[in-house]
């Protein structure tokens, strides 16, 4: 049958996951509740909400990223279509930005699948080392650790780890990630610990939500940040100046 | 200077609106806080949060819309790019869907600009009637009232109105909207009261946030709902069936 | 009935506008033929093809535009989704870039609606002046003339005008555009003649194709140019360098 | 240096691949010329043009596809943004639709890398069988052959093969594809020959253009077909009816 379990509308009501939108949801659930209700069919616990907020606040809190440049450039050409500029920014959330949360979470799930919940530190380190070795053998990078911007370590990660601990979500997947970071730091002789994407992926994995939903939360957070950037662009535009700056690098343009 | 006031990153920190992301924001602010902090430079009051949640929960709580169909169809062709399917769904948030919140909020602001905050009911009705007459003269529809789906009235609006009242946001713009609804119901002889888009627009206007931000909140809420729909499509696909259903309408396809 | 007149597929054939794709179209029609066949139901004349090529070649022939920056930035974040980067670039084709072709063509059609096909030069100039005056009264810019980049005149326009003349498409709409350019150049005391967008719009109007199709041809041409830019980005990336360049403008980033 | 080799603009000229746009390109090159000039740095031969047209005409000639539904649904919500509806349609050109041309072409190149240009039929069949066996071992489907819609064989492929032959592009990659089709037809006991995507991929591989450009040509052709569909939607809308049809499948909607 061609239906969605998420919800439907009748002439007299709107129903979401079996609940009446007007009497059971509106004013009783917040945005995180409805995200979880529609996506996984239940509302989150207070501890889960702390984590969900952490994920989405991180996705929303940043300066000028490639997505932001794409969105502002799009608004320059199509100021009448805010949704188009948002969409252009969303489109950069692929395998290099935002998408890695999903892939790293899946990797942490895969590495941890062979471990019991009360695995010893040695077992965790052995699993972490096996992953590092496997990636080296395949000449693939190890994701989730190290940061080009923050050479001494991503400043957000210690807070993320602490919040995860405080709310009961520092589990096996965080431990694997941290073991990878420690091993690589030792082997490289310089800090190579968990980065923001890795920490968020560990949280997703330790919360037990699907990696795909983790990516979805990032995209929603990113959407909010694009709105903020585009509202600023409407008031104090910088896209034209960015374009001029790029053109100025080309000596052939003769100006 | 080519900078954004929203935030920036240094080798040792991330700064959003002058606050250190790791120590002042993470774990201390929720998603609505960061939306308002990045967009308007301050965090919302508890009453404002109730309203912001109402707006975003409404944007997120729905069944199969044209946006959802577009997003699911896109995932059918490009399952590897979740961000592309989300973007396709976002692109339908234009002048007919989601965008009207912005336009109606602006219209309510324009109508109310000539009224004082303590305008009498008669003054509000006169302004409402002037708008109805002006639209009729220009052969344009009056937005924000009436619903094709919910002929007897959008079931969500009474709850929205009550929440607005309870939190101090039932002001001049809501009164203008309700006056328009009453006048048109009288004149048409059938219910033609505030619809969901109208109610949300009145809330945006009475909160004093910009109509463009109102639209942005809707787009962010829509983003979340698209995620839920696309996660379901990954698990229980219906897009192919929708396509087959459409093709079956064409007798020439011979099957 | 839920069908498209453009075409359909059966178990044994593909039919486009009533023609069998395999025996009547493939190898017998070129890309411009199929564009016109699907869009307006007939193939173009050789003279029309010269003009269609001119429009699409112009849309495809350019260096780094805001659309290109948006597309390259998107590929940086999502290299696995070429279609996403193309879409991001397409999204900038709105009211400021590409879209104006449609609006200017419509404006030229409106101005010319009151003129006969053999209107005298004086009549054309009078209509042009009326438009200039109307825009001035509404404090709106006159589109289709003047160029920020090419102060002395868009170098492509004389060739476009000549090709239009040679193929029988220098008609009333071109004359109105050139009259606007001449009048404004006189009034401003500096060159303010037809620019690229204006010339293409005049061609669209004088060909008698719809302004919306004109815009569509531009979008298709733009699509081709984005492909070329993105293939280059895959081989010789510059997006990261563009981003670094932008970040370097912000003294707060401390590097 | 932050430049593109494709082109640039100066105050007095536009230059594409070293050629002056106004005097050497406009009116002298057609759309296929500029596509190849910008993408690979040279214009195509007449034989190559026949093939390029075949590819793009095929991408442009179709009825209602998932992309078309996505594009029309988007226009329903945002009729003011034609570019957004086109972008929504483009976004469906991923790993399942359009994208396979690139992947199959790459696969044909990989299979053929071990063969000499004058490989015997037996050698070609052996390479084809090795590929079929490898896919079976990995439980992956063999792409480029078989068609769900056209059970007896894609009616477009014989014409494509003939045109490839006539223009000197029936080479090693076509031979490998046809060998795969013959072997699978024998092994399955029913027609399982080259489909449209396979044939186009073979053409791309035998032309020696990059698989990524092959995909780009498809996206450009798709763009043109979306324009035709969207112009029809503007004139004779069917998107609302499609949506209603989908909603009608859900008995809970109560109507």
User: In this predicted model, what pLDDT tens digit does every residue of B227-247 receive, in sequence order?
Assistant: 999 999 999 999 999 999 999
Q: Residues with Cβ < 8 Å from C180, sequence gap 6 or more?
A: C128, C131, C132, C142, C144, C145, C194
Share of chain C above pLDDT 70, in %: 99
Q: Give burial (CB, 10 Å; 0-12/13-18/19+) of C122.
A: exposed
What is residue A231's predicted lDDT score, i.e. its pLDDT?
98
Contact A243, A73 (CB under 8 A): yes
Please say if the pLDDT value at position B22 is more than 80: yes
C150, C213, C234 member nearest D12 (Cβ): C150
What is residue D40's predicted lDDT score, i.e. its pLDDT?
97
Q: Closest by alpha carbon to D250, among B133, B62, C245, A29?
A: B62
C-alpha to C-alpha distance for B17 and B39, rounded to whole angstroms: 10
Q: Closest by alpha carbon to B144, among B90, B99, B207, B114?
A: B99
Chain C residues whose beta carbon lies within 8 Å of the beta carbon of residue D204: none
Contact A255 D9 (CB under 8 A): no
Q: Closest by alpha carbon to B50, among B144, B157, B163?
A: B163
C74, C96, C245 member nearest A91 (Cβ): C74
> Is the CB of B91 inside 8 Å of chain D's CB atoms?
yes
Chain B residues whose beta carbon lies within 8 Å of the beta carbon of residue C248: none
Number of helices and strands in chain B (H, E): 11, 3
> Is the CB of A91 inside 8 Å of chain C's CB atoms?
yes
CB < 8 Å from C in window 66-85 of A: 66-67, 69-71, 73-74, 76-81, 84-85
* Chain D CA closest to residue A250: D3
Reported as a single tens digit per residue, the pLDDT across B85-109 is 999 999 999 999 999 999 999 999 9
**Which helix H or strand E contains A9, and what residues bound it?**
strand A7-9
Contact B5 A238 (CB under 8 A): no
- How far is the alpha carbon of C8 from chain D, nearest alpha carbon, in Å? 4
Structural tokens at position C173: 């709409």
Reported as a single tens digit per residue, the pLDDT across D65-123 is 999 999 999 999 999 999 999 999 999 999 999 999 999 999 999 999 999 999 999 99
What is residue A151's predicted lDDT score, i.e. its pLDDT?
81
Q: Token pair 């489909």 is at which residue? A: D195
What is residue A159's predicted lDDT score, i.e. its pLDDT?
97
In a mutagenesis test of the B interface, which of A17, A27, A199 is the best target, namely the one with the most B β-carbons within 10 Å?
Answer: A27
What phi-psi label fits residue D41: left (phi over 0), alpha (psi between -120 and 50 degrees) or beta?
left
Q: What is Dmax (Cα atoms) for chain D?
A: 67
Query: Cα–Cα distances in Å, from D197 out to D96, D174, D177?
Result: 11, 12, 11
- The neighbour count for residue B250, using CB atoms within 10 Å, is 18
pLDDT-based confidence at residue B202 (cuts at 50, 70, 90): very high
What is residue B26's predicted lDDT score, i.e. its pLDDT?
97
- How far is the alpha carbon of A74 from chain C, nearest alpha carbon, in Å? 4
Contact A86, A223 (CB under 8 A): yes
- Phi/psi of residue D194, nearest 5 degrees: -50, 135
Kindly report the length of chain B. 255
C-alpha to C-alpha distance for C99 and C88, rounded to whole angstroms: 16
* Chain B CA closest to residue A102: B82
Structural tokens at position C109: 């059609």
What is residue A149's predicted lDDT score, i.e. its pLDDT?
81
Reported as a single tens digit per residue, the pLDDT across C158-201 is 999 999 999 999 999 999 999 999 999 999 999 999 999 999 99
> Is the CB of B155 inside 8 Å of chain A's CB atoms?
yes
C-alpha to C-alpha distance for A228 and B179, rounded to whole angstroms: 33
A23, A57, A83 member nearest B90 (Cβ): A83
Chain B residues whose beta carbon lies within 8 Å of the beta carbon of residue C253: 8-10
Contact D51, D164 (CB under 8 A): yes
- How far is the alpha carbon of C161 from chain B, nearest alpha carbon, in Å? 37
Share of chain C above pLDDT 90, in %: 93
What is residue C114's predicted lDDT score, i.e. its pLDDT?
92
Query: Cα–Cα distances in Å, from D5 out to A185, B190, C63, C242, D13?
Result: 41, 65, 8, 16, 16
B93-117 as b/e: b if 16+ CB within 10 A: bbbebbbbbbbbbbbbbebbeebee
Spans in chain A with pLDDT lower than 50? none
Contact B255 C80 (CB under 8 A): no
C-alpha to C-alpha distance for B4 and A237, rounded to whole angstroms: 9
* Chain B CA closest to residue A69: B4
What is residue A145's predicted lDDT score, i.e. its pLDDT?
96
The full DSSP string for D10-27 is: -SS-EEETTEEIIIIITT
B80, B84, B255 member nearest C11 (Cβ): B255
* Chain D CA closest to residue C85: D91
* pLDDT mean over B206-222: 98
> Is the CB of B11 inside 8 Å of chain C's CB atoms?
yes
Q: Token pair 């080798």 is at which residue? A: B11
Tell me if residue B1 falls in helix, strand or coil: coil
Q: Token pair 């935002």 is at which residue? A: A98
Q: Closest by alpha carbon to D165, among D153, D179, D175?
A: D175
Contact B11 A152 (CB under 8 A): yes
CB < 8 Å from A in window 127-146 of C: none
- The neighbour count for residue B164, using CB atoms within 10 Å, is 23
- How far is the alpha carbon of C72 from chain A, nearest alpha carbon, in Å? 8
What is residue B1's predicted lDDT score, i.e. its pLDDT?
73
Reported as a single tens digit per residue, the pLDDT across D136-195 is 999 999 999 998 888 888 999 999 999 999 999 999 999 999 999 999 999 999 999 999
pLDDT-based confidence at residue C118 (cuts at 50, 70, 90): very high
B5, B64, B163 member nearest A4 (Cβ): B64
> Is the CB of B249 inside 8 Å of chain C's CB atoms?
yes
> Is the CB of D10 inside 8 Å of chain A's CB atoms?
yes
Please say if the pLDDT value at position B254 is more than 80: no
C-alpha to C-alpha distance for B168 and B201, rounded to whole angstroms: 16
CB < 8 Å from B in window 167-206 of A: none
Q: How do beta strands C14-16 and C19-20 pair?
A: antiparallel
What is residue D149's predicted lDDT score, i.e. its pLDDT?
81
Q: Closest by alpha carbon to A164, among A126, A204, A129?
A: A204
What is residue B151's predicted lDDT score, i.e. its pLDDT?
81
C-alpha to C-alpha distance for D162 and D147, rounded to whole angstroms: 20
C-alpha to C-alpha distance for D149 and D127, rounded to whole angstroms: 28
Chain B residues whose beta carbon lies within 8 Å of the beta carbon of residue C19: none
- How far is the alpha carbon of D82 from chain C, nearest alpha carbon, in Å? 8
What is residue B152's predicted lDDT score, i.e. its pLDDT?
83
Please say if the pLDDT value at position C255 is more than 60: no
Please say if the pLDDT value at position D255 is more than 60: no
What is residue A147's predicted lDDT score, i.e. its pLDDT?
86
Contact B254 C83 (CB under 8 A): no
Contact B224, A36 (CB under 8 A): no
- The neighbour count for residue D13, using CB atoms within 10 Å, is 15
* Chain C CA closest to residue B254: C10
Contact D255, C252 (CB under 8 A): no
Contact B180, B142 (CB under 8 A): yes
């Amino acid at each position: 049958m061609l239906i969605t379990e998420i919800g439907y509308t009748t002439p007299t009501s709107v129903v979401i996951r079996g609940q009446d939108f007007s009497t059971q949801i509106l004013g009783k659930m917040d945005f995180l509740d409805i995200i979880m209700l529609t996506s996984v069919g239940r509302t989150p616990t207070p501890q889960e909400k702390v984590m969900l907020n952490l994920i989405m606040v991180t996705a929303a809190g940043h300066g000028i990223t490639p997505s932001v440049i794409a969105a502002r450039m799009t608004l320059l050409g199509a100021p009448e279509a805010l949704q188009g500029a948002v969409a252009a920014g969303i489109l950069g959330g692929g395998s290099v930005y935002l998408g890695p949360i999903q892939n790293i979470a899946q990797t942490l799930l895969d590495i941890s699948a062979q471990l019991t919940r009360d695995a010893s530190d040695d077992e965790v380190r052995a699993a972490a080392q096996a992953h590092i070795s496997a990636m080296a053998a395949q000449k693939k990078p190890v994701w989730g650790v190290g940061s080009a911007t923050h050479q001494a370590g991503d400043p957000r990660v210690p807070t993320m780890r602490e919040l995860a601990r405080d709310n009961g979500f520092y589990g096996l997947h965080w431990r694997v990630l941290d073991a990878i970071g420690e091993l690589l730091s030792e082997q490289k002789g310089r800090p190579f610990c968990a980065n923001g994407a890795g920490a968020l992926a560990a949280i997703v994995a330790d919360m037990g939500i699907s990696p795909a939903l983790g990516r979805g939360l990032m995209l929603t957070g990113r959407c909010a940040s694009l709105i903020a950037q585009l509202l600023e662009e409407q008031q104090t535009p910088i896209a034209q100046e960015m374009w001029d700056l790029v053109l100025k690098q080309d000596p052939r343009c003769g100006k």
